[in-house]
Amino acid sequence: MPFKADLGSEDGYLLGGDVEDIAIENGLKFYVDWQKGQKTGFFVDQRENRSLLERYSKGRSVLNMFCYTGGFSFYAMRGGAKLVHSVDSSAKAISLTKKNVELNFPGDSRHEAYAEDAFKYLEKMGSNYDLIILDPPAFAKHKNVLRNALQGYRKLNAIAFEKIKPGGIIFTFSCSQVVSKENFRLAVFSAAAQSGRSVRILHQLTQPADHPVNIYHPEGEYLKGLVLYVE
């Protein structure tokens, strides 16, 4: 449609009325804001990685940074985590996370949620966790800010390496198209070296098959992740 200066914008559905605002993924239920939430309102590209996290959660104290609506948190709870703390700078996201807790685990005291800046939370926290999820929003959407983005990934992971308990596991991600797999790994490896701790790669993660990558557009492999064991 040609652009018109007097044409306003409006959220809504092209066909039908309002739809059910609950999505089900692997038996877990999630309230979703389809119209105003990030992306489609729910990050389906992380579903396989959430299932993997569930396998590592039993008996662990879990910190889910940049939790959005709590996806990783609930897989950790179902996996038998001892406690789960969800952190996001958005008060709206934290409110939705709390609703999702009650939807899946009503009255469960293992979960707490905090609306707080991620870096400030990490810097002031003690060594209380042995499983940490770092799934930040894109630090770089354009190549001219790539250097700052890589510094952000190094800083974020360095704090996690410093604070996590011995024998802990870190799930760390980048969803920035302009950050290559190699650059992300180098940023994480630099953070590990800075911490002076022994770190091993358990898994190398990406998006699922329904988010295919055109061989001529490698930037389409936007989701990069590592599962790391920290001695």
- The residues carrying an active-site annotation are 175
- Write the single-letter amino acid at 204: Q
The C-alpha atoms of residue 225 and residue 203 are separated, in whole angstroms, by 8
| Token couple for 14 | 């092209």
Task: Determine how β-strand 22-25 pairs with β-strand 28-31.
Answer: antiparallel
3-class secondary structure, 66: coil
Contacts of 230 (CB under 8 A, 6+ apart): 161, 164, 166, 167, 168, 169, 170, 197, 198, 199
Rg (the chain; Cα; Å) = 18
Q: Which of 117, 34, 37, 27 shows the shortest CA–CA distance to 74?
A: 27
CB 98 within 8 A of CB 77: no
Report the phi/psi class of residue 126: left, alpha or beta, with left for phi > 0 and alpha for psi in -120 to 50.
Answer: beta
Which residues have a Cβ under 8 Å from the Cβ of 78 and sit 6 or more positions away? 28, 54, 57, 104
